[in-house]
Amino acid sequence: MVVVMQPGVEATDVEAVVERVEAAGGQAFVSRGVSRVIVGLVGDVETFATLDLAGMPGVAQVTRVSTEFKLVSREQHPDRSVVHVRGVPVGPDTVTLIAGPCAVETPEQTLAAARMAQAAGATMLRGGAFKPRTSPYAFQGLGELGLRILADVREETGLPIVTEVLSAHDVAMVAEYADMMQIGTRNMQNFALLQAIGETNVPVMLKRGMNATIQEWLMAAEYIAQRGNLEIVLCERGIRTFETETRNTLDISAVPVVQRLSHLPVIIDPSHSGGRRDLVLPLSRAGLVAGADGIIVDVHPQPELALCDGAQALIGKDLDELATAVTDLTTYMGRSPARRRYRSAG
Ligand code: PEP
Ligand code: MN
């Protein structure tokens, strides 16, 4: 059972809920996010049902759901959610194209990639400043310098930025720059990171762990939600299978399955799943027709010189074809392109 408190609730009202639950022999765990306070109850549900928690001051909602991912479940919230990233929606009525370089390398490269992204219809810029590389000898990213470059390019282009955070220690710093924080496939079950991001009010893109089941993925999202941040976009980026022709296997079925189980938006990453430029277009088409709420793709002005993932970066004719496919399939699916709804300062 979960008690969601009203925004701006008084501490005494939260305390009263905890006391009533404990007096009835239950345990109550309080999670304080920036935007809301959530009290998770452990104990006898039948007893809790007699406590009239819903009628207590400051209580917004009491939910009795059976799944392990209560707050992100569709049982809890039957309408599919829209997450706004600096005014750009990601949700059921739109298709959001996010594009940019795998890694931020230089100001010139990042701006050039952002211009390519924008020309292709993207309304959000991706780019890694902290790179989770399999080899410790590979380019690890520019760190905070990369974040500053992204912020400058946002200033120049108006594109909100999504960038990865690798560690709980970096969350406060990355949150200063990012419009959406990315949790990569290797960190999907880094619970300290999930909780730290859950305590901010910055939207988050949670990639599916390459070895994770859908249930595990949704429980990871629940860790973020439980700390009060429900601005979560899920990203299917391929899972490990026995197949070696592709880097990973994009699990198209995850899109409708997750949309049935959870109210959170789901996008796909056809670049990191296939790991090959020639697969980005067919995988994007498949994902959009399966109902994805958006796609995130790598672009690079000089893929042959890219410090990371050049083999999958789009340029030229391939990017033009992707742009056309996204436009056509957005209409085909009865959606509209995700345009920024307001301009905010900075
Ligand atoms: C990325 O998007 O830059 C990335 C590293 O992706 P993934 O975590 O899916 O490998
Ligand atoms: Mn990459």
> Model confidence over 274-327: pLDDT tens digits?
999 999 999 999 999 999 999 999 999 999 999 999 999 999 999 999 999 999
Distances (CA, A) of 152 to 4, 106, 302: 38, 12, 21
Please report the pLDDT score of residue 45 as a whole number: 86
Q: How many CB atoms lie within 10 A of CB 226?
A: 22
Domains of the chain as residue ranges with CATH: 2-63 (3.30.70.1140), 83-337 (3.20.20.70)
Please report the pLDDT score of residue 43 as a whole number: 85
Which of 272, 273, 283, 300 gets mutated to test ligand 1 (max ligand atoms within 8 A of its CB)? Answer: 272
Is the pLDDT at 67 greater than 50, yes or no? yes
Q: Whose CA is nearest to atom 8 of ligand 1?
A: 184
Nearest atom (ligand 1) to Cα of 210: 9
Which of 135, 139, 163, 164 gets mutated to test ligand 1 (max ligand atoms within 8 A of its CB)? Answer: 164
What is the DSSP secondary-structure string of 260-302? Answer: HHBSS-EEE-HHHHH-SHHHHHHHHHHHHHTT-SEEEEEB-S-
Cα 130 to ligand 2 centroid, rounded to whole Å: 11
DSSP state of 200: S
Q: What is the pTM of this model?
A: 0.88
pLDDT tens digits, 175-223: 999 999 999 999 999 999 999 999 999 999 999 999 999 999 999 999 9
CB 233 within 8 A of CB 217: no
Nearest atom (ligand 1) to Cα of 235: 9
CA-CA distance, 29 to 18, in Å (whole number)?
Answer: 8
Is the pLDDT at 64 greater than 80, yes or no? no
DSSP state of 87: T
Distance of CA 43 to the CA centre of its chain: 32
pLDDT tens digits, 296-308: 999 999 999 999 9
Q: How many CB atoms lie within 10 A of CB 20?
A: 16
Distances (CA, A) of 87 to 125, 146, 203: 14, 23, 11
Is the pLDDT at 344 greater than 60, yes or no? no
E strand map for 129-253: 161-164, 180-183, 204-207, 232-236
345 pLDDT tier (thresholds 50, 70, 90): very low
Please report the pLDDT score of residue 346 as a whole number: 41
